[in-house]
Amino acid sequence: MLQEIPTIQITDVKHYVNQTVRIGVWLRQKRGSGKIAFLQLRDGTAFFQGVVVKSDVSEETFEIAKSLKQETSMYVTGEIHEDTRSDFGYEMAISGIEIVGESHDYPITPKEHGVDFLMDHRHLYLRHLKPFATLKIRNELIRATYEFFNKEGFTKLDSPILTGSAPEGTTELFETDYFGESAYLSQTGQLYAEAGAMAFGKVFTFGPTFRAEKSKTRRHLTEFWMIEPEMAFTTQEESLEVQERYISYLIESVLKNNEQELDILGRDKEVLRSYTQLPYPRLSYDDAIQLLQDNGFDVEWGVDFGSPEETFLAEHFSKPVFIVNFPKEIKAFYMKRHPTRDDVVISADLLAPEGYGEIIGGSERDTDYEYLKTRIEEQGLDLAEYQWYLDLRQYGTVPHSGFGLGLERMITFVTGEEHIREAIPFPRMISRIRP
Ligand code: 4AD
């Protein structure tokens, strides 16, 4: 009896050397002569080459191979061989082609296209090497996040996307009508995570967050995904230790599981590995201002850092660096007062090296009902919206700390991508809501 030909995926071809298999693929590119056709194929798991030799196949199969268009989908059948000349290491000697879906005039050709063109065709551009590699790494960072926090005893708690509160400032809100009332797309899940920490001890939220950022920079999206851990009975210093362990764990996971993708993107793996060395330096905001001034920056105590300052500070240490204890006036209402100074709060931003900027913002949370009430009023927020949050300080308040990691910022840092728009399948920015 004839053995049935197995249908497999490209990543599995190493287990089928010298065997005949069938794979569902798309054609990326094609080259060849009158006697041979080289087909660059992909199936979503990997990229490899199939070779059609005229003298080895039927006339019809060779004609089909020659007429294939970019992005045609098909099943290819053939024997798997080792191929020491390619990075992938294997290729297929194709003996049969069954077309599944034809393709004509595919718009993204091997020639160079501008950024706007590629973003307008993002629904198709996802199929190409760089987005593939970047978004595979995104997937790994999400997987490793769940793994890390599960190992550390956290409970995943989902926070709502439609909210009545705007704890990170009221200027960057997307407002919507909620049955006659105003509601906002969530800027942060933190306040809900704090409620969760009082119920589950250690929680993390992970979801889309929204900021109507008018700034057109390579680090800002209007819709980005944030991971927000929150821990009861935890001081800021303990939280910083979780943060650096988490970042190091994420980088190690990508180094272990995404070698192919890092190579596609040309990311230096040894440089990345150096960022897994702990601890990360801690530099006070005061010292950071001093250091910047000593190096010719025109900054005064009290300002928030811009991109050049952040780049300088992290480059100075050649690794991620925590800037701790920011001025109270430039930070959110919930941050804990410093025990001996009235002008700073117990907060920290983690700055990534190589110009990737702030990847984490976090703080210890103040636990005092009256103080928080005053801060909410001072910041011009609607006290009624925060009554439930203040309840957390009325019924067994405890020291607690937490932080938020911007997933897309972390992706650009790990992948070495220049612009944050590459780090999310369908980016939302001030001038882009389609596709
Ligand atoms: O520093 P942020 O505003 O902190 C918070 O929202 C806190 N509630 C977090 C917490 O303590 N639970 O934002 C946290 C991180 C930033 O460090 C950055 O990585 C990312 O979110 N982020 C953005 N990423 C992309 N586009 C934007 N517009 C972003 N704004 C913040």
* 350-370 pLDDT, tens digit each: 999 999 999 999 999 999 999
Closest C-alpha to 319, from 289, 283, 276: 276
Rounded CA-CA distance 260/277 in Å is 23
- CB atoms < 10 A from the CB of 232, how many? 20
pLDDT of residue 2: 64
According to DSSP H, which parts of 228-337 are helical?
236-257, 259-265, 269-274, 285-294, 307-317
- CB atoms < 10 A from the CB of 242, how many? 21
* 405 CA → ligand 1 middle, Å: 6
Which tokens belong to 111?
């020639």
State the amino acid at position 34 in one-letter form: G
pLDDT in tens, 116-154: 999 999 999 999 999 999 999 999 999 999 999 999 999
Ranges of residues in the chain with a pLDDT under 70 are: 1-2
The preferred substitution site among 358, 364, 405, 417 for testing ligand 1, maximizing ligand atoms within 8 Å of CB, is: 358
- CB atoms < 10 A from the CB of 263, how many? 12
8 Å CB contact between 192 and 205: yes
Closest C-alpha to 424, from 266, 222, 162, 246: 222
Nearest atom within ligand 1 for CA of residue 222: 28
The whole-angstrom distance between residue 24's C-alpha and the CA centroid of its chain comes to 29
* 334 CA → ligand 1 middle, Å: 15
- Which residue carries 């801690």 as its tokens? 282
* Domain residue limits, the chain: 10-101, 120-422
Query: In Å, how far are 117, 135, 233, 365 from 398, measured between CA atoms?
Result: 52, 39, 6, 9
Q: Which residues contact 401 (CB under 8 A, 6 or more apart)?
A: 230, 231, 234, 235, 236, 238, 239, 362, 363, 364, 365
8 Å CB contact between 86 and 49: yes
* 360 CA → ligand 1 middle, Å: 7
Residue 320 in contact with ligand 1 by CB distance below 6 A: no
8 Å CB contact between 345 and 326: yes
Cis preceding linkage at 339, omega within 30: no
CATH topology of domain 10-101: OB fold (Dihydrolipoamide Acetyltransferase, E2P) (2.40.50)
* 215 CA → ligand 1 middle, Å: 15
> What residue owns the CA closest to ligand 1's atom 18?
406
Instruction: Please give the radius of gyration of the chain, using alpha carbons only, rounded to the nearest integer.
Output: 26
Nearest atom within ligand 1 for CA of residue 407: 19
Put the strands of the sheet holding 400-406 in their side by side order. Answer: 155-156, 202-210, 223-232, 400-406, 357-365, 347-352, 321-324, 282-284
Residue 213 in contact with ligand 1 by CB distance below 6 A: yes
8 Å CB contact between 322 and 280: yes
Residue 138 in contact with ligand 1 by CB distance below 6 A: no
CATH superfamily name and code, 120-422: Bira Bifunctional Protein; Domain 2 (3.30.930.10)
pLDDT of residue 241: 98
The whole-model pTM stands at 0.96
* 406 CA → ligand 1 middle, Å: 6
3-state secondary structure of 20: strand
Which tokens belong to 184?
């906002």
According to DSSP H, which parts of 77-185 are helical?
115-120, 122-125, 129-151
Cis preceding linkage at 281, omega within 30: no
* 228 CA → ligand 1 middle, Å: 9
* 419 CA → ligand 1 middle, Å: 17
* 403 CA → ligand 1 middle, Å: 9
The preferred substitution site among 226, 250, 310, 417 for testing ligand 1, maximizing ligand atoms within 8 Å of CB, is: 226
- CB atoms < 10 A from the CB of 39, how many? 25
Residue 221 in contact with ligand 1 by CB distance below 6 A: yes
Positive/negative CA dihedral, 108, 112, 117, 123: positive
Residue 352 in contact with ligand 1 by CB distance below 6 A: no
pLDDT of residue 1: 56
> What residue owns the CA closest to ligand 1's atom 29?
220
- CB atoms < 10 A from the CB of 292, how many? 19
* 404 CA → ligand 1 middle, Å: 6
Nearest atom within ligand 1 for CA of residue 228: 12
Rounded CA-CA distance 411/138 in Å is 6
8 Å CB contact between 297 and 312: yes
